[in-house]
Amino acid sequence: MSEREDGSGETRPGAANDRVGYCQPPVGTRFRPGQSGNPRGRPKGARNLTTIVAAALSERVAVNENGRRRRISKLDAAVKQLVNRAASGEMRATQLLLALVQANEARPPQQDTDRVGDPDAIVMAELARRLGQCEP
């Protein structure tokens, strides 16, 4: 254990722990054991940009289609407008629509989440076997 002299000429054991610098705050300001630096944590219900955009796009709006009034999501309405503008010959809308189609086709297909893979089936069978042995 290192010892150092303070101004009085005495040596103090454990004085190496009193160093202050990068990653070593003063002892008096450190968090006590078991105390969190963020005691309340992230507030419940705090939403990020993705959830806010998804909520806005899923809102429903009333539109007139073929003389009938329908309620569709804002995302559906925006896509319909984009397709209609591209069909009418607007070049910028056509480019954007083709980029969206290409990005959608380039994305790998969604995996079936209901299907259990072989490794998972093996683990589940082993668990069932073990649990079956414990029953009286």
Residue-wise pLDDT tens digits, 27-78: 888 888 888 788 887 777 778 899 999 999 999 999 998 899 999 999 999 9
Domain extent for 94:
74-107
The total number of structural domains in the chain stands at 1
Q: What's 109's DSSP letter? A: P
State percent of the chain over pLDDT 90. 38
Three-state DSSP at 5 gives: strand
CA distance readout (Å), 29 to 13, 15, 78, 126: 21, 17, 54, 51
User: Is 15 contained in some domain?
Assistant: no
User: Is 88 contained in some domain?
Assistant: yes
User: Is 92 contained in some domain?
Assistant: yes
User: Is 33 contained in some domain?
Assistant: no
Of the candidates 118, 86, 80, which has an alpha carbon nearest to the alpha carbon of residue 99? 86
Cβ proximity of 89 and 97 under 8 Å: no
User: Is 58 contained in some domain?
Assistant: no
Give the CA dihedral 13, 14, 15, 20, nearest 10 degrees.
180
Please give the residue that has the higher pLDDT: either 95 or 131.
95
Instruction: Identify residue 83 by its one-letter amino acid code.
Output: V
Ramachandran angles phi, psi of 24, nearest 5°: -135, 80
Predicted TM-score of the model (pTM) = 0.48
User: Is 78 contained in some domain?
Assistant: yes
User: Is 69 contained in some domain?
Assistant: no
User: Is 54 contained in some domain?
Assistant: no
